[in-house]
Structure 1
Amino acid sequence: MSPRSSEQNEKIREERIQQIIDAAIAVYLEKGVRGTEMGDIAKRANMARGLVYYYFKDKMDLFRFVFTRLIEEAKTYISSTLLSDEEVISKLRTYARFYLRSSQLKPHMVQFYRNIPADIPFVFGDKGEAVLKEYVDNATGPLHRVLEQGIREGKLKPLDPRLISAVYWGGLMGGMNAMSSGQVPEEQAERMMDDVIDILLDGIVNKKG
């Protein structure tokens, strides 16, 4: 048997890391950071504990990696959607639909992103405050800028963008909770997402604009 190529080794490495990440998230949602042990993660990933330690030196190293990767994924999506050249109302619809659909397909991730702000200070230690600030800024900043743009262009009502953001995001979270309940039949999902988005936008769109 010929030795594996560097590409094959890298693929195996990435697959194993993804297994570990998926297992870490699952155990984290059950036990939290403090209650999770590396043995729990190895068992959930169906791999030897030593192999988990081969990739991550300890639990906190693993959780810093998981949090950082998923925070970056969220940042990339938010920026690519809300900072695009698309029309304001269309951007707000696309943004909401992504989170609603994700809540239906990956309900556990709704809980994950809801939980991590409270755990970032513990996971990142001395850097926790800075990481949390950056996370919040990256999550809310692009939305604020889109809302301000919409107000300037007359597409949205001339209200305080901070108030619009709070109400919009609060309503979106309610819709995400409904979509992640597991009680929405697939044939009704699209209609329900449309209804949630219409509710979100109805109060902020400037119909005179």
Structure 2
Amino acid sequence: MSPRRPEQNAAIRERRIQQILEAALKVYRARGYHGAEIGEIARVAGLGRGLIYYYFRNKRDLFLTLIRRTLEAWQERAKDILDADLSVVERLARYLKEMCVLALQHPEITYFHTTISRNLRVIFPNEAEEVMSLYEQYMFVSFRHLIEEGVRRGELRDVDPRVAERMFFSVLFGALDNENMITPEHIDPLMEITLFGLVKTDGRTTVFG
């Protein structure tokens, strides 16, 4: 048997890493971070325990990789929306809808991010800032730039992009809460309310004006 080519080895490596990460998502969903043991992740992945340590230094390294890879995948998915030749409002609507659709398609990833992001300083006391910077890099910065573009073009109110960002993602993560996950028929109404609010206006100053 001839030795495997480097690209074959790389493909096998990537396939095994993906197996491990998918198993980690399932075990996390059932046990949480502190209850997720390497041995169980190996069993769910159908691999030997030692092979997990071949690819990852420890459980923390495994889960940090899981955070990074899933955020990278989301950024790649969102890029086409954010760069589309559409109005800012249309891109915001598509961005929100895509996140909701993906959440329904991949509930383990949704559960993972909505829960682990609330407990970063507990789970990763020494790497919390690093992880927060990943969310900043892969999610928040591009969204904030879109808000700034909308304000410049006069499509959006002159709001602080960070306030708009916080509101937007608070609504989104609330809708994706694992105990009360949004249903497909509620995605469009959620988009409407998130982008245009609850209050009917006639152009006069609001109560906060």
**TM-score interval for Structure 1 and Structure 2 normalised by the shorter chain:** 0.7 to 0.9
Work out the CA distance in 1 between the residues paired with 2:74 and 2:169. Answer: 15
Deviation, structure 1 residue 124? 4.9
Q: Deviation at 1:96?
A: 0.5
Letter in 1 for 2:142: P
The 1:59–1:167 alpha-carbon spacing in structure 2 relative to 1, beyond 3 Å, is closer
> What pairs with 1:1-80 in structure 2 (closer than 5 Å)?
1-78=1-78
Cα distance per residue 1:185-208 (max 9 Å; x no partner)? xxxx3x54323222222229x998
Match of 1:130 in 2: 129
In terms of fraction of residues, the more helix-rich structure is 1
The worse-fitting range, judged by mean Cα deviation, of 152-161 and 32-41 is: 152-161
1:1-209 mapped onto 2 (5 Å cutoff): 1-78=1-78, 81-82=81-82, 86-121=86-121, 124-126=124-126, 128-138=127-137, 139-177=139-177, 181=181, 184=183, 189=184, 191-203=185-197
Aligned CA distance change for structure 1 residues 141 and 4 (closer, same or farther; 3 Å): closer
TM-score by length of 1: 0.77
TM-score normalised by the chain length of structure 2: 0.77
Q: In 2, Cα distance between the equivalents of 1:104 and 1:60?
A: 27
* Displacement after TM superposition at 1:16 (Å): 0.9
Secondary structure at the counterpart of residue 155 of structure 2: coil
Are the equivalent residues in 2 in contact too, given 1:83–1:146 (CA < 8 A)? no
SS of the equivalent of 1:172 reads helix
**Sequence identity, in percent?**
31
Structure 1 residues 170 and 63 mapped into 2: Cα distance closer, same or farther (>3 Å)?
closer
How many angstroms does 1:73 deviate by?
3.1
Q: Indicate conservation of the 8 Å contact 2:81/2:95, yes or no.
A: yes
Number of corresponding residues: 200
How far apart in 2 are the matches of 1:175 and 1:119? Answer: 19
CA RMSD of aligned residues (A): 3.2
Residues 65-120 of structure 1: CA deviation (Å, up to 9, x unaligned)? 22232233344445664466642112101210111111110112111111222454
The answer to whether the 8 A contact 2:68-2:134 is kept is no
